[in-house]
Amino acid sequence: MENFNQYMLDEIKLRKQNFNLRELSVYSNLTDFASNDYLGIAKKHQTGSTGSRLISGNNQQIIDLEKKFSNLTCFDSSLFFNSGFQANIGLIPALTDRNTTIFYDELIHASLRDGVRLSNAKNFSFKHNDLSHLSKKLAKIDGKKLVLVEAVYSMDGDSPDLIELLKITKTHNASVIVDEAHSFGLIGEKGLGLVNKLNLNKEILATIYPLGKAVGSSGCFISGSTLLKDFLINFCRSFIYSTAPSKTVIKEVDFQLAELNSFTMRAEILRLKKYFLDNLRNELRVISGKDSAIVSIFYSDTIVLKKIEALLFEKGLFVKAILHPTVKKGEERLRICIHAFNTIKEINLLLEILNNKK
């Protein structure tokens, strides 16, 4: 990560020399002539943040939450964003310039793709989880190189071989960003995701933790080095120019993070998924990953697929058909998410419909 660390250090040094370095501060016990709380509603109810964190939206609660999350996930620092989308479209353009080349798995989330589009970097996709293809592409390019992957892919439910990926990126002097949206809460002894499970915290340039999935809230942490956090505070436009999260959201995230450490719930998801897969008729084309709650069943005929979706709705089962352009043509599917609260009775009803619908 030397190239990116030096890039960030140089940019921060220049800010310091020009006396325009941004830093987060907490202002209290002052008469307010700075916030956007025009009607005083946030003040009255002690809710909204009233502005960006660099103006009036910073507070001790969010600072404490970032420290708590960093300690939980064993990173030096974390920075909170309003959503995973906001994090991804800000992080990637901030870290890259015209001297950067981005290599991204062809199945990365739309927010990561939009982050790539908003950057000034050159970019190339590589075949899904095909590290040989990635290695060949990395070998052809000089300069700063950044690789984007997800810990669990949202549609296929599978994962990259992060250990092998890092061997390849180190060989080609590239850095890695990992999005843990569908792995956080599920993978690892304490549900802290793939990067933590493999003890790769110091090897990854930035790890993204959206909170709208297993945590059941909203917002997102970007975790990494203290240098990364300082850099994003100064150069990440989606952070600098967004209203900070409300105190209500911060309180909710803090409370619900404590529920992650439930081995019983994670074990129940895997038990139910195994039961579902073991009893699904063999001729169906199915894909999943060993550590994910996602099971996708492919249907070549989208008319049949939509009819099955409608039948499932009719029977009280909420399963969505995923169509092009969200997925490639020919990859249309039912995307099934197994939850700890689902019952064997519910799984059996789902199986009955899928096994009998030709």
- CB-facing half-sphere around the CA of 143: CA atoms within 13 A: 12
Domain ranges of the chain: 2-257, 263-356
What angle separates helix 110-118 from helix 84-95, to the nearest 10 degrees? Answer: 30
- Residues ≥6 apart with Cβ < 8 Å to 147: 102, 103, 104, 134, 138, 165, 169, 174, 175, 176, 177
Q: What is the pLDDT of residue 29?
A: 87
pTM over the 0.85 mark: yes
- Reported as type and span, the H/E element at residue 59 is none
In sign, the C-alpha dihedral spanning 261, 335, 275, 345 is positive
Q: Over its length of 358 residues, how does the chain's per-residue pLDDT go in tens digits?
A: 889 999 999 999 999 999 999 999 999 889 988 999 999 999 899 888 999 999 999 999 999 999 999 999 999 999 999 999 999 999 999 999 999 999 999 999 999 999 999 999 999 999 999 999 999 999 999 999 999 999 999 999 999 999 999 999 999 999 999 999 999 999 998 999 999 999 999 999 999 999 999 999 999 999 999 999 999 999 999 999 999 999 999 999 999 998 887 788 999 999 999 999 999 999 999 999 998 999 999 999 999 999 999 999 999 999 999 999 999 999 999 999 999 999 999 999 999 999 997 6
Residue with tokens 């700063």: 144
**By the 8 A CB rule, do 105 and 165 touch?**
no
Query: What CATH number should be reported for the domain whose range is 2-257?
Result: 3.40.640.10
Question: CA angle, corner 130, sides to 173 and 134, nearest 5?
Answer: 30
The CATH homologous superfamily to which domain 263-356 belongs is Aspartate Aminotransferase, domain 1 (3.90.1150.10)
